[in-house]
């Protein structure tokens, strides 16, 4: 069996006249047909024909981005609005959508943003940072499922691991659950078995004290499920534990890959100079803003893209100022963590946050979002001028008030 992705291709002139329609496959033969078709209508290296496409990723996008060609990734919701101009019933078809995309560039190219001209290193960091972020979210999701299952039949394990940071994601917790998947088996663990499980997990200090604490927690008086049900739940737990171990390994491996790639980027020094930004979080920020310094005309564009700046809506005599819902969710999530860390890492950021809470009456999330709005603007300035973060320049008023 052979599976090959396919694409619908439509070409129009400046008046909207359909020039060509083709169906190409996602392989070398399909790309040759595409290049020959574009060349037949005047496509050159100096003056390439712009192309609109529904996605910003994939092999076809990589082929189209070679050279100076402008490639526009049109949001599917925007394409759906344009589709209503050409057909009354809300019917979707790939050939029709290809024609819609072509007409979008013909009439409103200026209103859409082309794909940024990021370097290969920045795009590679984006792949690793997003994959690491996805692996972290997946690890937490599986951990939550495992916690919910243990609450049904094995509360002794949750109590025993409660004092550990990262709880069920720690290697000690996973080793102990493998050694005793049910509370009945946990009560039979000897000091030697507990000691060996902690050593297998990589623990080097405080093993004796932890052994005694775990032994007491497992042998405390807890309610139990019927034996057959308990064994069945233990089997289910072991299956989830396999998934959790794979997710933990993937997150750790991708984190190491990010640590190797991110410091090689020229903008890494500037990003890491900001309080609250480490390698992992800084790589996520770079992954979303890219290193095409001409991508955003000013800091306001970047703030809107990150969802940090508020949006004003007015109709007649009514107006409202609300948070942005259309934004880059990954960058907005990174900004939330960044602002949260900066409050304790930067005296100026902490003073700014407290001023928003005390003087303006903002709730925690609103004050933190306002702080992120300010910091992302500072980051834009520093990256554009390749300057390191300076606390006194960034928060002169706040530092004077704090002093």
pLDDT digit string, tens, across residues 333-359: 999 999 999 999 999 999 999 999 998
The domain boundary residue, chosen from 203, 226, 260 = 260
**pLDDT tens-digit series, residues 279-290:** 999 999 999 999
Task: Answer yes or no: do 102 and 169 share one domain.
Answer: no
Same domain, 320 and 299: yes
| Domain CATH code at residue 14 | 3.30.420
Residue 276 within a domain:
yes
Asked whether residue 104 falls in the same domain as residue 163, the answer is no
CB 306 within 8 A of CB 328: yes
Q: How many whole angstroms separate alpha carbon 159 and alpha carbon 157?
A: 5
Determine the pLDDT at residue 323.
81
Q: State the pLDDT confidence band at 147, using cuts at 50, 70 and 90.
A: very high
Q: Given a cut of 70, is residue 225 above it in pLDDT?
A: yes
Whether 291 maps to a domain, the answer reads yes
CA 347 to centroid of chain Cα atoms: 28
Total structural domains in the chain? Answer: 3
- Token readout for 287 is 């992954």
Distance separating alpha carbons of residues 241 and 293, to the nearest angstrom: 44
> Of the segments 24-33, 200-209, 329-338, which one has the largest average pLDDT value?
329-338
Residue 226 lies in a domain: yes
379 pLDDT band, cuts 50/70/90, is very high
Higher pLDDT, 56 or 386: 386
Statement to judge: residues 252 and 146 lie in one domain = yes
Q: Is the pLDDT of residue 403 over 70?
A: no
Do 103 and 43 fall within a single domain?
A: yes
Domain boundary among 260, 282, 314: 260
The token duo for 197 is 């499980």
Q: Which residues contact 232 (CB under 8 A, 6 or more apart)?
A: none
- Mean per-residue pLDDT, 77-86: 77
Question: Does one domain contain both 214 and 334?
Answer: no
Q: Please indicate, yes or no, whether residues 279 and 165 belong to a single structural domain of this protein.
A: no
Distance from C-alpha of 66 to C-alpha of 274, rounded to nearest angstrom = 34
Please, what is the angle between helix 347-358 and helix 364-385, to 10°?
Answer: 140
Same domain for 185 and 274, yes or no, is no
Query: Per the domain annotation, does 168 fall within a domain?
Result: yes
Q: CB under 8 Å to 298, separation ≥6 — which residues?
A: 380
Between β-strands 318-322 and 311-315, what pairing exists: parallel, antiparallel or unpaired? antiparallel
End-to-end alpha carbon distance in the chain: 72
What pTM was computed for the model?
A: 0.84
Q: Which residues pair with 321 in a beta bridge?
A: 312
- What's the mean pLDDT when you consider all of the chain? 88
- 307 inside domain: yes
Query: At residue 227, does pLDDT exceed 70?
Result: yes
Rounded CA-CA distance 285/138 in Å is 20
Shared domain check, 251 and 286: no
Read off the pLDDT of residues 237-256 as tens digits, 9 standing for 90 and up: 999 999 999 999 999 999 99
- Residue 43 shares a structural domain with residue 78: yes
Do both 254 and 274 map to the same domain? no
With respect to residue 44, please indicate whether it lies within any of the assigned structural domains. yes
Q: Which residues pair with 290 in a beta bridge?
A: none
Q: Where in the sequence is the domain holding 311, given as residue range(s)? A: 268-402
* pLDDT tens per residue, range 296-324: 989 999 999 999 888 888 888 887 778 88
Among the three residues 260, 289, 324, which one is the final residue of a domain in this structure? 260
Q: Is the pLDDT at 395 greater than 80, yes or no? A: yes
Report if residue 285 sits inside a domain: yes
On the question of pLDDT at 91 being above 70, the answer is no
Cα(305)–Cα(380) distance, integer angstroms: 12
Q: Can you name the residues that pair with 71 across neighbouring β-strands?
A: 51
User: How many whole angstroms separate alpha carbon 266 and alpha carbon 102?
Assistant: 37
Distance CA 152, CA 233 (A): 9
Both 309 and 374 in one domain: the answer is: yes
Is 1 within a domain?
A: no
What are 255's two structure tokens?
């984190």
């Amino acid at each position: 069996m052979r599976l090959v992705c396919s694409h619908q291709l439509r070409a129009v002139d400046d008046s909207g006249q359909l020039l060509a329609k083709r169906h190409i496959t996602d392989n070398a033969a399909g790309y040759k047909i595409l290049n020959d078709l574009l060349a037949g209508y005047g496509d050159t290296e100096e003056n390439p024909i712009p192309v609109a496409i529904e996605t910003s990723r994939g092999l076809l996008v990589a082929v189209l981005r070679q050279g100076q060609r402008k490639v526009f990734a049109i949001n599917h919701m925007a394409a759906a609005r344009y589709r209503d101009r050409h057909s009354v019933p809300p019917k979707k078809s790939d050939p029709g959508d290809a024609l819609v995309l072509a007409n979008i560039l013909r009439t409103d190219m200026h209103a859409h943003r082309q794909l940024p001209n990021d370097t290969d290193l920045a795009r590679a960091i984006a792949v690793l940072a997003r994959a690491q972020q996805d692996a972290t979210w997946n690890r937490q999701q599986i951990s939550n499922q495992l916690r919910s299952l243990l609450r049904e039949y094995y509360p002794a394990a949750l109590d025993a691991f409660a004092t550990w940071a990262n709880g069920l994601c720690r290697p000690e917790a996973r080793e102990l659950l493998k050694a005793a998947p049910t509370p009945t088996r946990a009560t039979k663990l000897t000091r030697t078995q507990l000691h060996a499980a902690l050593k297998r997990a990589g623990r080097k200090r405080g093993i004796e004290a932890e052994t005694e604490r775990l032994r007491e927690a497992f042998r405390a008086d807890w309610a139990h499920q019927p034996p057959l049900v308990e064994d069945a739940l233990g089997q289910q737990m072991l299956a989830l534990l396999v998934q959790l171990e794979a997710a933990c390994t993937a997150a750790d491996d991708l984190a190491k890959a990010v640590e190797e790639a991110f410091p090689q980027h020229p903008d890494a020094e500037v990003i890491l100079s900001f309080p609250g930004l480490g390698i992992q979080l800084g790589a996520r920020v770079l992954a979303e803003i890219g290193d095409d310094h001409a991508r955003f005309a000013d800091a306001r564009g970047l703030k809107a893209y990150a969802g940090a700046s508020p949006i004003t809506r007015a109709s007649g005599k009514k107006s409202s100022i609300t948070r942005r819902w259309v934004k880059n969710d990954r960058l907005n999530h990174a900004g939330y963590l960044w602002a949260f860390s900066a409050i304790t890492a930067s005296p100026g950021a902490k003073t700014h946050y407290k001023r928003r809470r005390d003087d303006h009456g903002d709730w925690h999330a609103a004050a933190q979002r306002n702080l992120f709005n300010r910091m992302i603007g500072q980051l834009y300035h520093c990256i554009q001028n390749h300057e390191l973060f300076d606390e006194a320049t960034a928060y002169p008023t706040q530092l004077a008030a704090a002093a």
